[in-house]
Amino acid sequence: MGSEFALPRIPWFSGVEEKIVTQDTAFIAIDVQNDFCPGGALAVADGDQVVPVVNRLMPRYPVRVVTQDWHPADHFSFASNTDGAAPFSLIDASYGPQVLWPDHCVQGTAGADFHKDLLVDAADLIIRKGYRSRIDSYSAFFENDHTTPTGLEGYLRTRGVTKMVLAGLATDFCVRFSAVDGARLGFDVTLVEDGCRAIDLDGSLATAMAEMQAEGVHFRQSTDL
Ligand code: VGL
Ligand code: ZN
């Protein structure tokens, strides 16, 4: 008995009894992909810990975006594509210094897939980035030349978004550049601190936090949202 009132089978409906936040706000989950989680090619310590935070928050927001790092195998940001280069070394790209990474998030591979528990089905939009061989793309808004757009700004503006809440991986790279670009574009940006994890390469986390703070990004715990 009682089964005629069974809960909806769509898992993210479990969020509707929670507070729904203002209608002009987007939740953006950055690069919650296998290669950035423990066991992945560019694993971020405790990267998988962001999944339950994202899953709890994203359903409350009227606009939901997930981003996906999506590189061709010959991507120039891979150390393996530069003779003799070590992973995590720096090269000069046309737009400034570029870290050379271990091969990661190669298009169509398991490493590029989202974490298996991420509520990707709750997202309205999946935005891919880093798919051009000759330029990297940390930010969800622009490639690393800070000029070539991904299209996300237009998507958000045409949906009436003025505020965004960000979580994901990694705090000091893709989350940082997305937050800073969002703020510079005039959006009100909030970072969910416990919904992010960092790579922390040579002090990059401290630099990222200082830059986001200087750009007016708000820092919150997920429990305060
Ligand atoms: C990222 C390094 C290289 C990130 C992506 O998602 O933060 N970091 N590609
Ligand atoms: Zn990448």
Summarised one tens digit per residue, pLDDT across range 81-97 is 999 999 999 999 999 99
Q: How far, in Å, is the centroid of ligand 1 from the Cα of 208?
A: 13
The residue whose CA is least distant from atom 4 of ligand 1 is 174
Could you tell which of 28, 30, 31 is best to mutate to test the pocket of ligand 1, judged by most ligand atoms within 8 Å of the CB?
31
> Is the distance from the beta carbon of residue 32 to the nearest atom of ligand 1 less than 6 Å?
no
The dotted CATH code for 25-70+110-220 is 3.40.50.850
The three state secondary structure string of 67-96 is EEECECCCCCCEHHHCCCCCCCCEEEECCE
Q: Which residues are catalytic?
A: 31, 129, 174
Q: How far, in Å, is the centroid of ligand 2 from the Cα of 36?
A: 9
| pLDDT value for 2 | 42
- Sign, CA torsion 185/205/130/40: negative
| pLDDT value for 5 | 55
| pLDDT value for 22 | 73
Is-contact 26 164, C-beta < 8 A? yes
Helix%, strand%, coil% for the chain, nearest 5: 30, 25, 45
> Is the distance from the beta carbon of residue 180 to the nearest atom of ligand 1 less than 6 Å?
no
Nearest ligand to residue 177 Cα: 1
State which ligand 1 atom lies nearest to the alpha carbon of 30. Answer: 6
Residues 6+ apart with CB under 8 A from 121: 10, 11, 12
* H helix or E strand, kind and range, residue 98: strand 96-99
| pLDDT value for 19 | 64
Q: How far, in Å, is the centroid of ligand 2 from the Cα of 5?
A: 45
| pLDDT value for 202 | 93
| pLDDT value for 20 | 62
Residues 6+ apart with CB under 8 A from 16: 59
pTM across the whole model: 0.92
> Is the distance from the beta carbon of residue 69 to the nearest atom of ligand 1 less than 6 Å?
yes
State which ligand 1 atom lies nearest to the alpha carbon of 170. Answer: 7
Does ipTM exceed 0.90? yes
* H helix or E strand, kind and range, residue 180: helix 176-184
Instruction: Identify the segments of the chain with pLDDT beneath 70.
Output: 1-21
The structure tokens 């960092």 sit at 198
Residues 6+ apart with CB under 8 A from 7: 13, 14
